[in-house]
């Protein structure tokens, strides 16, 4: 489905020094695959991810948040590394969720919301 979304549009983005259509399908899970992302947190995370993407200069075409993992299909300028996108999404979202929902830290040990890999 994501491939179809990307290829149907075939929207090339014209920047000053390049023409591109760079898309990433990124998947990561919560620490220990704990099912901590309930419906309220899922909606809050969606808004948070869109806010982060806007601030950091990339776009999110579509996303799906499950109780224990996240799927994001993002588009970015070639100068933005996929690791930077993941670092921003995971780092900022974890920090803000722990501030807004301190009860999450009781469910997850050592203050980590996300698994270190992606």
For residue 33, pLDDT beyond 70? yes
Residue 109's pLDDT band (boundaries 50, 70, 90)? confident
pLDDT of 6 reads 52
Classify residue 110: in a domain, yes or no: yes
Q: What is the mean pLDDT of residues 20-46?
A: 95
Please give the model's pTM, rounded to 2 decimal places: 0.87
- The encoded tokens of residue 42 equal 């899922």
DSSP 57: T
pLDDT of 111 reads 81
Residue of 54, 25, 41, 24 lying closest to 113 (CA atoms):
41
Classify residue 26: in a domain, yes or no: no
Classify residue 23: in a domain, yes or no: no
Q: What is the mean pLDDT of residues 1-12?
A: 61
Per-residue pLDDT reduced to its tens digit, 56-102: 999 999 999 999 999 999 999 999 999 999 999 999 999 999 999 99
CATH number at 59 reads 3.30.70.1290
**Structural domains of the chain, count:** 1
Distance, CA of 19 to CA of 36 (rounded, Å): 40
Classify residue 70: in a domain, yes or no: yes
What is the layout of strands, in order, in the sheet containing 59-65?
23-29, 69-75, 59-65
**Domain housing 64:** 34-118
Classify residue 38: in a domain, yes or no: yes
């Amino acid at each position: 489905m994501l491939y179809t979304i990307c290829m149907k549009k075939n929207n090339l983005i014209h920047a000053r020094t390049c023409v591109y259509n760079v898309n990433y399908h990124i998947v990561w899970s919560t620490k220990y695959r704990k099912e901590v992302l309930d419906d309220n947190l899922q909606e809050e995370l969606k808004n948070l991810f869109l806010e982060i993407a806007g601030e950091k200069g990339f776009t999110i075409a579509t996303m799906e948040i499950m109780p224990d993992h996240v799927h994001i299909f993002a588009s970015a300028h070639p100068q933005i590394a996929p690791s930077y996108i993941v670092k921003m999404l995971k780092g900022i979202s974890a920090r803000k969720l722990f501030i807004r929902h301190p009860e999450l830290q009781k469910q997850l040990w050592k203050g980590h919301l996300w698994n270190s890999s992606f």
